[in-house]
Structures are given as structure tokens and as C-alpha cells.
Amino acid sequence: MAYTPLFLNAKKHGTILIIGGGEIAAAKTEALASVGAEVEILAENISEAVEILCAKHGFKTTHAPYNKKYLKGKKIVVAATDNDAVNEKIAKDCNKADILVNVVDNPPLCDFIFPALVRRGNLQIAISSSGISPVLARMVKHAIEQAVPVTFTNLIRFMGDKKLELREKFTKIQPRRLIGEAIYHGPIAEELYEGNRQKADALFDDLIATYPNQKQPALYLIGAGPGNPELMTIKAIRLLSKADIILYDRLVSQDIIAQYARKDAEKISVGKTRDHHHKTQAEIDALIEDHLRKGNVVVRLKGGDPGIYAHGAEEINIAKKVGAPYQIVPGISAANGCAAYAGVPLTERGGALSVRFITLYTKMLQDDDFWTSIQYAKNETFVFYMSTPHYSTLCAKLVELGFSADTPMVAIEQGTTPQHREYKSTIGSFDQEWDSSTFASPCLLIIGDVARWAKENQWKDAPQEKASYFPALPSKNSEEKQVA
């Protein structure tokens, strides 16, 4: 059951009627009173705790059994009796009268539910499990309470005092947002957490005196990791949240964009597959340059690490040409991520002392120099990117070059994601055991003695059913732009 999160101005909807007078009614009364709502209690028996709360806040109490006549004029009702039949009748009566109703511990009868709430002054963070597990919601609440200091209220109050001044000085949205982030993540916030308002005021005055009232372009090449959103770095998440424009690859989890990108950021798919380049590199470069010249913060979001099989140097040159600052934010490469999830160490004491990342293009199959370089690397670990169409030729060639047919090999598709799946064998028998047409993209090949650990160290269960974790590219004629 899905609920739309909203923050309701309860005062505009009159008195909220709570039907029930016990422990649950006391909890709801206290929660509503804490946000300034007006409450009325209806129950035959009203506990001392509820009476004390109502006296404290000046709330009306009515000692009487439930009757639908008490619903007249009400817009919001909470059914908190200990009688399921009475609660169900309250819900039916409210539905007929178009009154929003919450039935405690009975989500199917609820028009709305109460979230677990973290409050820091005017900042409110609501957490809900859609009524499935209030205990889980409370656990998340406690985690947030530990992460957001109690003195965060000082920062909220400070920003309220400075809001008008910031709006008057910074007339453009982007610089106003960026200076806000500078305040939240810098020394001003730290002084406020310690209660040093005068020092914070002085730092604020210095900051706004020099901060430009104009858009500030920047380019961030960010590695999104191999697929699992939890493998994004803290810095990657922070800089991604600054983006005005996000150019993202196909092998970037949509969960990463949904969780960490601003909703108003423009998201543009520029992904590629072997047979479908939704955007050519020249078109991607042109997009980067165009948006930088417009003063936007551009994030080039790449699967894995932005320094492995990407066009980072080319894209950085665009930022240099425009005169925009840039950063490269490393990510966990597909090789590291997939190997770790398969239980495979890429190097090993006394065994593989080095690792080689390779992508096997068709033209390389006839390149004698390439195969000669491979021939003398029998103690290395090979990680082949984007090479599964050639795995049969690869295995045969390695055996021809003198590699043992028993050399372990593992193919890992959609590594680190919920669709992570492994295909284990040796270079001598892989071709007979597996058909490359069964491999989902992306798929990585690890060849070398270390690949034997894939059988012994396996810890990631394969999914029960095969599916694509990464979305297909938009058709060439489809709208390229997504604005959330």
C-alpha cells in the first residue's frame, strides 16, 4: 500500500478528533500537540495521562461512547479505541462523510498514517514503513537522530534569519543554492552547532561579500561503481547532488539517480551498447561544452571508474577549453566490484602478482603483438571487459599459447547487483559448458589461477530468475531528456 508523503497544516483543517482515551490516544495527542494541532478527545473512559495532556494544552474532552454525531464539522479523525469493531464503524462513517481517518494499527482502513518524526526546529523528517512495521520506522528515526545533531536547530534558525538577505543579494537560483551548500557544509555550520552565533555571523558576512551572484560552471567526472548503489563513494554522492545536468551511462543504476540526484536536475541518457550508440562521443562532448558555457554544473556519471575504458581526458579538455573547474571522482571499477562479489582476489601472494584489464576488440584477434604480450603472462590475472562475444576464440588461443587447459575462468554478469550471476569453468571447457548468448550485459571475464576461488569463496546467491538490472537504452527516435 502506497502513501503520498505530505506535510499538512493541521490548523487550517480545524480540530482533530481522537476517539479513544487510552495509551495510544495519549501518544497521538502528544504527537499532534507537538506540531501545534488542536485536538479533541472522545471516549467513555479517559486515562489520567490523556487528561493531563488535554489540560496542559487546553484540549476539549468528551466522556461518551462513540456516535457518528460527533463527526459533524470534523475533517480529520483518529480512531484509537481498543475495540476493532468500533474502529471499523468509525472508518466507515468517516468514509461516507468524506472525513480523513486514521485507524491505529489497521492500515487498510486508513486514509493517512502517522510517520515517525525527527524534529530539529522547523526541520521535520518523517519516516514511514506504510504501516507495515512501526518498529522499523522507529529504528530509522533513531539512526537519523544520531546523524543530525540536536543543535541543528541553531542552523535552521540562522538560515531563517538570513533568508531575506540571501534572496536580495543572490537573485539567481544556482548561486543561491551553492552558497547555501557552502554554509551547510562549512565552518559557519560548525560554529552554529557549538552555539557561536557571533562567529557565524562574521563568517557569513565575509562569505556573501565575495561570493559571485552568477552561475558557476563545473565538470565532475564521477564513477558510479559497478551497479550496487551502496558502492558509491561519499564524495561522489555529495558532488552528484550539486549537478544541474547529469549525463549518465547505461550501466549506472537508476537507483543512484533517484536517491542522490536533485529532482530538478536534468538527466540525459548518453549510454552506449555494442550495436547502439544513443549518443556518440562527439555528441556527448558537445553537450558538455554547451551546458558548461551556460554556467551549469555538469556531472558525467559513468559506470565503474571514470578512468577505465572511458573518455575522461577528452572530456576534461572541454572543461579546460571553457575555463570551468573540474574534478575526477574515482569509483569502484567493475573488475574490483565483480571480483569481490565473486570471492576472487585479483592478486595473490606467491601466485598472481599483477592484474591486467583488457577489452578484446575484433581487430585484436589477428594482432600477433597482442597475443605475444599475453603469451608470457601466465602468472597474471586477466580481466576482460566487453569481450564475451569472443570468449570462444580467447579460450582456444590461450590454450594454443601454452596456457593450461585447467586454468580457472569465471564470467560474471551484472556484477554486484541483485542480478549478479557467475559462470565458472576452465579455459579448456568453458566453451562446451556455456553459451555466450546466455550472458546478460554487462559481463566480465576473469581468467587466471585466482579464479579458482570463485568456487571456494562464493558468498553471493544467484537470483532465482534472470532479469535485466540495467535499463535498455532509449530508442534512437525517443525523447533523450528526462526531467524529474
Between CA 185 and CA 239 the distance in angstroms is 12
Long-range pairs of 431-434 with CB within 8 A, sequence gap ≥ 24: 431/391, 431/392, 431/395, 431/396
Q: Residue 208: how many CA atoms within 13 Å on its side-chain side? A: 20
Residues in Cβ contact with 470 at an 8 Å cutoff, skipping those fewer than 6 apart: 227, 250, 251, 252, 253, 414, 417, 441, 442
Residue 265: alpha-carbon gap to chain centroid: 14
What amino acid is encoded at 280 in this protein?
Answer: T
- Select which of 249, 267, 279, 397 is catalytic: 249
Using the structure block, give the residue that is written with the C-alpha cell 472525513.
99
Active site residue 272: yes
From 272, 378, 455, 460, the catalytic residue:
272
DSSP letters, 113-141, are: -PPEEEEETTEEEEE--TTS-HHHHHHHH
DSSP state of 310: S
Distance CA 79, CA 87 (A): 6
Cβ neighbour number for residue 57 with a 10 Å cutoff: 16
Q: Which residues have C-beta within 8 Å of that of residue 81, sequence separation ≥ 6?
A: 19, 20, 22, 43, 66, 87, 90
- CA distances to 271, 344, 424 from 337, in Å: 20, 10, 17
367 is catalytic: no
The DSSP line for 171-236 is: -SHHHHHHHHHHHHTSHHHHHHHTT-HHHHHHHHHHHHHHS-SS---EEEEEE-BSS-GGGS-HHH
Q: Which three cell numbers stand for residue 8?
A: 499538512
Alpha helices, H only, 401-440 = 430-433
Residue found by looking up cell 555528441 in the block = 283
Are the C-beta atoms of 451 and 427 separated by less than 8 Å? no
- At 65, list the grid cell: 461512547
Which residues are catalytic, by number? Answer: 249, 272
